[in-house]
């Protein structure tokens, strides 16, 4: 039997929306948004799309009209009643009412601010300006839209059976990874793949595959919509945008030096337990740890998001030991460029020495490498970052100079202030 109603419904869509909900975003964006809404609601920021894979000429692949339709659709979204109820009532990391009533009221009335879109040199210049809590919520949907429109542009050229085989191969590929991950002892792994997913439906499939394949070793997803729909834990803590904006707002070098710790002071007040995760690499992990105040050693763990992950985790272990903490009670979350080999290696290396957990991103939800001619569906490195705050440029150094951002003079100043010496460049794949 053909379901005529479904068929007709599908045909009458004006667009096939990529982002269907304001909570089709990473959980940590909402946590950070609430913190910003409380602490820095009036900061004016600009977020900008940056395609680090300049060989992918997005403006030639993706139709501008379709892109505008998708972005306009996102501006038409409002927080749904069920979504609001879930955010207000659900238990996150064991805590009820994580989101305060004043924040929820603001969120329920939120419309995302306007966007600016231009084409330049085969790329889209897509920027968002306005108050920080509003603008920052564009990051994930903007990335997801561009990633999926690029997928669709390639898929559009393919015939019915080619499509079926493509997904058959992609499913097989992921399942083979899951079968290897089943062998990893004491695995704790979460989906961090929203921003660079192949598509929404594919991410949703990946999550279901992890649920069935890994059972309790799969601890949840960063995607709030999927967490709500699939009855999973929403996972995430905080990101580079907090220290980047706090740093940009600093008036003096000394304020700049303290900015990353100011971020965590605010966070310390607001959160406890599993939400107290340090992200140390914004201006170099080594200096961050050396100069960290003592109260930070009591935090639950650390997230390693750039540089050599072994070096990063070893530095954290040494730091905890130095400060009298037992690393075996601490948590290291790896979230940079993970795939199965690296997860296996890191597990072998750190098992028994520290608790570890993995936030698996692009190579979970977008590993279409090698599946079509010319590798036209391979993932690429697209980011959407705060580039200025109250008119001042932001800077990111990280532990990999290939991930550094900001004007050259400011990068030099930050390197001086934070005492960052020479760094080893590592190729940024995704």
Least distance in Å: CB of 366 to a copy of itself?
A: 17
Nearer to a copy of itself, 86 or 167 (CB): 167
- Shortest separation between residue 174's beta carbon and a copy of itself, angstroms: 9
Nearer to a copy of itself, 50 or 209 (CB): 209
Q: Which is nearer to a copy of itself, 218 or 283 (CB)?
A: 218
* Closer by beta carbon to a copy of itself, 174 or else 247: 174
CB nearer to a copy of itself: give 106 or 167.
167
Q: Which of 94, 175, 318, 322 binds a copy of itself (CB under 8 A)?
A: 175
Helices (H), 351-394: 362-365
Q: Which residues contact 150 (CB under 8 A, 6 or more apart)?
A: 56, 58, 61, 62, 380
Q: Can residue 172 be called a binding residue for a copy of itself (CB under 8 A)?
A: yes
Pairwise CA distance, residues 359 & 226, whole Å: 16
**Both structure tokens of 178:** 């899951």
Interface residue with a copy of itself among 5, 12, 324, 427 (CB under 8 A) is: 5
Within 192-211, the residues that bind a copy of itself by CB under 8 A are 208-209
For residue 208, what are its two tokens?
A: 């279901």
Q: Token match 């105040």: residue? A: 293
For tokens 């920027």, name the residue.
Answer: 127
Residues 6+ apart with CB under 8 A from 175: 209, 213
Any contact of residue 3 with a copy of itself (CB under 8 A)?
A: yes
> Could you tell me if 372 and 203 are in contact, meaning their C-beta atoms sit under 8 angstroms apart?
no
Q: Do residues 423 and 400 touch, judged by C-beta distance below 8 A?
A: yes
Tokens 């820095």 map to which residue?
Answer: 40
Is there binding between residue 13 and a copy of itself (CB under 8 A)? no
User: In the sheet that 382-389 helps form, which strands lie side by side, from edge to edge?
Assistant: 115-120, 123-131, 44-51, 382-389, 392-393
Segment near a copy of itself (CB under 8 A), from 5-13, 45-53, 304-312, 327-335? 5-13
Pair 278, 264: CB distance under 8 Å:
yes
Structural Rg of the chain based on CA atoms = 21
Shortest distance (Å) from residue 206 CB to a copy of itself: 11
When the beta carbons of 96 and 216 are compared against a copy of itself, the nearer one is 216
Identify the residue among 15, 91, 168, 201 touching a copy of itself (CB under 8 A): 168
SS3 183: coil
Quick count: other Cβ atoms within 10 Å of Cβ 30? 22
Q: Which residues contact 401 (CB under 8 A, 6 or more apart)?
A: 423, 425
Eight-state DSSP code of residue 390? T
With CA atoms as reference, report the closest residue to 198 among 397, 374, 369: 369
Indicate the residue among 175 and 295 with the shorter CB distance to a copy of itself: 175
Does 1 bind a copy of itself (CB under 8 A)? Our answer is: yes
Minimum distance from residue 15 beta carbon to a copy of itself (Å): 18
Interacting stretch for a copy of itself, rule CB under 8 A, among 118-126, 160-168, 373-381, 395-403? 160-168
Query: Cβ atoms within 10 A of the Cβ of 316, count?
Result: 23
Pick one of 66, 78, 122, 167: the residue that binds a copy of itself (CB under 8 A): 167
Query: Does residue 372 touch a copy of itself according to CB under 8 A?
Result: no
Least CB distance to a copy of itself at residue 193 (A): 18
Quick one: 97 or 164, whose CB is closer to a copy of itself? 164
Q: Which long-range contacts (CB under 8 A, 24 or more apart) does 153-160 make?
A: 153/61, 153/62, 153/63, 154/61, 154/372, 154/376, 154/377, 155/377, 158/372
Q: How far is the CB of 168 from a copy of itself (least distance, A)?
A: 4
Q: Which stretch binds a copy of itself (CB under 8 A): 19-27, 89-97, 159-167, 218-226?
A: 159-167
Site string for a copy of itself, 213-232 (x = CB under 8 A): x-------------------
DSSP secondary structure code for residue 223 in this structure: B
Binder of a copy of itself out of 159, 252, 294, 324 (CB under 8 A):
159
Please say whether the dihedral angle defined by the alpha carbons of residues 211, 212, 214 and 216, taken in this order, is positive or negative: positive
Given the complex with a copy of itself, which of 164 and 291 has the nearer CB atom?
164
Nearer to a copy of itself, 210 or 316 (CB): 210
| Residues that bind a copy of itself in the complex, under the rule CB under 8 A | 1, 3, 5-6, 9, 159-162, 164-165, 167-169, 171-172, 175, 208-209, 212-213
């Amino acid at each position: 039997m053909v379901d005529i109603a479904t068929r007709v419904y599908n045909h009458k869509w004006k667009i096939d929306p990529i982002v269907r909900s304001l909570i089709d975003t990473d959980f940590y964006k909402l946590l950070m948004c609430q913190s910003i809404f409380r602490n820095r609601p009036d900061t004016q920021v600009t977020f900008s799309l940056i395609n680090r894979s300049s060989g992918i000429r997005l403006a030639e692949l993706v139709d501008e009209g379709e892109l505008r339709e998708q972005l306009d659709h996102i501006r038409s979204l409002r927080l749904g009643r069920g979504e609001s109820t879930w955010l207000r009532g659900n238990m996150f990391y064991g805590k009820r009412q994580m989101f305060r009533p004043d924040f929820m009221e603001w969120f329920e009335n939120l419309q995302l601010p306007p966007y600016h879109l231009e084409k330049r040199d085969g790329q889209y210049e897509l920027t968002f300006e306005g108050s920080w809590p509003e603008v920052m919520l564009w990051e994930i949907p903007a990335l997801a839209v561009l990633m999926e429109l690029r997928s669709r542009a390639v898929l559009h050229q393919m015939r019915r059976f080619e499509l079926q085989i493509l997904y058959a191969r992609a499913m097989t590929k992921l399942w083979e990874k899951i079968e290897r991950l089943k062998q990893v002892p004491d695995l704790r792994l979460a989906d961090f793949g929203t921003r660079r997913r192949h598509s929404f439906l594919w991410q949703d499939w990946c999550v279901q595959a992890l649920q069935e394949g890994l059972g309790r070793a799969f601890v949840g997803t960063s995607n709030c919509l999927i967490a709500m729909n699939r009855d999973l834990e929403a996972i995430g803590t905080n990101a580079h945008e907090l220290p980047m904006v706090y740093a940009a707002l600093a008036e003096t070098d000394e304020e700049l030096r303290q900015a990353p710790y100011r971020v965590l002071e605010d966070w310390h007040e607001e959160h406890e337990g599993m939400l107290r995760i340090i992200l140390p690499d914004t201006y170099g992990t080594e200096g961050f740890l050396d100069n960290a105040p003592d109260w930070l050693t009591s935090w639950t763990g650390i997230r390693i998001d750039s540089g050599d992950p072994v070096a990063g985790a070893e530095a954290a272990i040494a730091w905890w030991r130095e400060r009298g903490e037992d690393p075996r009670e601490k948590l290291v979350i790896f979230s940079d460029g993970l795939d199965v080999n690296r997860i296996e290696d890191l597990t072998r290396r750190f098992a028994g020495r520290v608790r570890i957990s993995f936030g698996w991103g692009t190579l979970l939800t977008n590993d279409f490498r090698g599946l079509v001619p010319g590798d036209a569906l391979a993932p690429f490195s697209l980011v959407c970052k705060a580039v200025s705050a109250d008119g001042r440029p932001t800077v990111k150094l990280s532990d990999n100079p290939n991930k550094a951002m900001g004007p050259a003079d400011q990068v030099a100043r930050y390197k001086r202030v934070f005492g960052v010496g020479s760094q080893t460049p590592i190729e940024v794949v995704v």
